[in-house]
Amino acid sequence: MPNIKGAAKRMRQAAKNRRRNIEVRTRIKKVRSKVLAGAPTVEAAKEMFRAYCSELDKAVKKGVIRKNTAIRRKARAAARLLRTPAPAPAASAPSAPAAT
């Protein structure tokens, strides 16, 4: 236990920041796993990627990760999404022949 009042305050702040950092990192990991797991449609994949980028940007704003780290992670996720094959289009019902 610190003897100095300022050191006690820094200890409280460090504990608070540590909890926040863990929460933010956990949120990033959850969204990242959803992005990398794949999506049924291209639109869903884009939406999940947008959410991942948003979480990374929020983490940068809060000082949890550095700006270049977020940029690198976004670039790698985007490259991985582009490498994955697009999901097959859903089979549509056969259309009725046109009346002549």
1 or 84, greater pLDDT = 1
Residue 97 pLDDT exceeds 80: no
At 95, the pLDDT band (50, 70, 90 cuts) reads: low
What tokens appear for 69 in the block? 């780290």
Alpha-carbon distance of 12 to 30, in angstroms, equals 28
- For residue 94, report the phi and psi dihedrals to the nearest 5 degrees: -65, 140
User: Alpha carbon 28 to chain centroid distance?
Assistant: 5
Structure confidence by residue, pLDDT tens digits, 28-56: 999 999 998 888 888 998 999 999 999 99
Enumerate domains of the chain plus CATH numbers.
5-83 (1.20.58.110)
Structure confidence by residue, pLDDT tens digits, 44-88: 989 999 999 999 999 999 999 999 999 999 999 999 988 877 655
Nearest CA to 55 out of 35, 79, 37, 38 is that of 35
Model pLDDT, residue 90: 58
